[in-house]
Amino acid sequence: MGIRKSLAVVTSATSIIAACVFGGPDVRFVDTSTTEFTDSTGNYSLEVRCTARNEGDPGPVTVSASVDGLGGAWTESETFEIQADEHRVVVFTFPEVERQPPGLGDYRYSCAAEAP
């Protein structure tokens, strides 16, 4: 029993040290933008572009985009491997977003990143 506890402590301590030394991705957004589209049949959609730069170590990261506006709030996400110093443009399309009528203000959007 004593050996198992010691092994668990050593394993946990090693994991904590590894997490500090190998911190994983540290994603920063260097640009975010939106583009509005209306197709030939009149269907409207909003595209959110999140331009990310990894200032940390390589590893998995989940990038998400959220949109708030008339008719609701939506979030889309994508998980992928990112290398150190890599720039990546992640594009999300929201066909469910409704066009904002003049005078009601704009929709709000944001990009976020999380290393799982």
Provide the domain limits for residue 47.
24-114
**pTM of the shown model:** 0.74
Higher pLDDT, 42 or 98: 42
Within-domain flag for 37 = yes
The confidence score (pLDDT) of residue 2 equals 37
Within-domain flag for 3 = no
Q: What is the CATH number for 55? A: 2.60.40.10
Phi, psi of 97 (to 5 degrees): -70, 135
Distances (CA, A) of 104 to 42, 49, 97, 101, 107: 21, 23, 14, 6, 9
Higher pLDDT, 5 or 67: 67
What is the tens place of the pLDDT at every residue in 71-90? Answer: 789 999 999 999 999 999 99
Phi, psi of 11 (to 5 degrees): -60, -45
